[in-house]
Amino acid sequence: MKDGFIKTAAVTPKIRVADPVYNRDRIMEKIEEAEKERAVVVVFPELCITGYTCGDLFLSDPLLEEAKKVLIQIAEDTAGKNMLVFIGVPVAYKGRLYNTAAALANGKVLGLVPKHCIPSYNEFYETRHFAEGMEEPVEIALTEEVKVPMGCRMIFSPDSLPELKICAEICEDLWAPNPPSSSHALAGANLIVNLSASNEITGKDRYRKSLVEGQSARLICGYVYASAGEGESTTDVVFSGHNMIAENGILLAEAERFQNQSIYTEIDIQRLNGQRRRMTTFQEGIYCYREISFHLKKEGTNLTRFVDPMPFVPEDASERQKRCEEILSIQSMGLKKRLEHTHCSCAVVGSSGGLDSTLALLVTVRAFDLLGLDRKGIKAVTMPGFGTTDRTYDNAVHFIQCLGTDFLEVDIKEAVRVHFADIGQQESNHDVTYENGQARERTQILMDIANKENGMVIGTGDMSELALGFATYNGDHMSMYGVNASVPKTLVRHLVGYYADTCQDGQLKGILKDILDTPVSPELLPPEHGKISQKTEELVGPYELHDFFLYHMLRSGFGPDKIFRLALYAFGTGQNGREGKYAPEIILKWLKTFIRRFFSQQFKRSCLPDGPKVGTVAVSPRGDLRMPSDASADLWMKRLEKIQESL
């Protein structure tokens, strides 16, 4: 349970219909298996002690009495096990029969949650046997000695982890227009379990999956769905054991249907609670719930879930292509609106032959095409300086010519030398003044050309550079509209690659591919033997790490210790047993760099030019990041120092 991770399980035992004793043994086997997997929340299917398909046998006293006896035996079997188990069982109360989810822990039955929505349509006829569950809990006697609460409005919460709040619903409850889980979540529940017996018909699995994903997203919760499988009666329908575990709209684990497969994964309760705090429209309801506390030992949780090392870039190729097209459309439509509003038919873009300026020029061309403007209205300016190499210069020139925009070349070297003489800067001194003097000279040229042509300077800097502050203040940091301002560096590469793969122009594709192969560099220091001498990722660290840090700090609100753990898992040896890409010391080194620069460079983000938001993470001071420029990083750095001591 470290860092808010809760190991959950959805399990489907092979049962016999109307044979609680046989089913008890199969259920206990699964509980033993789940204990070995160190699952702490274990969910079984609907009515699995008896079987869902008993029909009128549910009206038989021997079956109900045996089911109750078996329930208590299974509860006793949980003694000494560090888990909360939900299991389906029919329970009689005051002349009515209820389809319930029994919550078991520490050798006891903690409570019974009855099914609220009772279907009687198509192949279902549950109202023949079961009553609608009461919302307010009542006390019922399972035996003379065992009395437990029963009702829909119950929350189960471990004493060792009070931020974990668990509620249950049963099968049809999820399919109803107003699922009980909606009330559960508004009452504080962040983990919903569903005990289900959902039969299979063609195409139903897709809809079922969309319900689980959608409800977990809408409620910002974890959702564990365990469904009946082999062993249920096949007189009229077949059950597949379609188990699923989702978190905030993402399906983390899914069973192979028709296999009675148990699935295990971790739900990040800390992340869910953080997302709810951010979402101001997620407001607690007026519902009155009974909270039932139980004991769980607080122990570490080994991660088995997938942690995406590239959270901004979809892993699936088709989804990645769709994302790239969508982002290019957002960027170009944002610029199109700004050009229309200002009655501007001229755009000025500095083209260096690097990734960021390439993407900015591609977006500008798209915006001009959408407006039906002549591409010659785009002034693509290449400005060779002291660090420019033949490779980037040639790529910039050929790229501009391929796009059919207006080409301008302004060599900045002599102007920068004059400026250096004016301020007493030695050209041989390759310090920050040497570098930033060139960057500001380039920005001055772009701004003045825009004034001369009644145009607009299009910014090229990306979100990763802004997060690190790796931009020259009032140099490449400044523009009149920054089309890349919320695009991380890892995604810039894929956007340019997508354009290369879909442009249907062999020459342009070749140029873009070579730009992709060129090391990322501001090219502000003289080349060595004609090659780029200044490689950004050697100076500030790998962008794939920084984008990972940025995502989990801003999107998830995680502290540096949890970010380090996730990065170690995603890039180290923890995930899929693969060889680690980065050693712990390297990850920690660049995480320190990220935290230090992120805090110290906020002043650059506080005065960003306008630019379109394209994803869930952005750093605009007018949108997602309202952060003081003089905030202290000490709290974050001290946590990293503790990690350093443990390595």
Which positions are catalytic? 46, 115, 171
Q: Are 392 and 358 in contact (CB under 8 A)?
A: no
Cβ 227 vs Cβ 12: under 8 Å: yes
Please report, as a single letter, which amino acid is at residue 445. I
Across 540-633, where does the E strand assignment appear? none
Measured in degrees and rounded to the nearest 5, phi and psi for residue 437 equal -60, -40
Q: Which residue has the tokens 């660049």?
A: 590
Quote the Cα angle for 403-409-415, to 5°.
Answer: 150
Give every CB contact of residue 590 below 8 A, 6+ residues apart in sequence.
Answer: 540, 541, 542, 545, 546, 549
Element (H, E) at 585: helix 584-600
Contact 129, 137 (CB under 8 A): no
**Nearest partner of 48 among 12, 72, 75, judged by Cα:** 12
CA distance 386 to 439: 11
139: three-class secondary structure by DSSP: strand
Rounded-to-integer distance, Cα 173 and Cα 119, Å: 9
DSSP code, position 531: B
Neighbour tally for 375: CB within 10 Å: 15
Question: In this structure, are residues 222 and 192 in contact, taking their beta carbons and an 8 Å threshold?
Answer: yes
Angle at 417 between CA 416 and CA 418, to 5 degrees: 90
Are the C-beta atoms of 385 and 442 separated by less than 8 Å? yes
The three-state (H, E, C) secondary structure of 261-312, written as one string: CCEEEEEEHHHHHHHHHHCCCCCCCCCCCEEEEECCCCCCCCCCCCCCCCCC
Pairing of strands 84-93, 96-105: antiparallel
Please, which contacts does 55-62 make with residues 24 or more away whose CB atoms are closer than 8 Å?
A: 55/129, 55/233, 56/128, 56/129, 57/18, 58/90, 58/97, 58/129, 58/130, 59/97, 59/129
Determine the Cα–Cα distance for residues 295 and 198; give it in Å rounded to an integer.
32
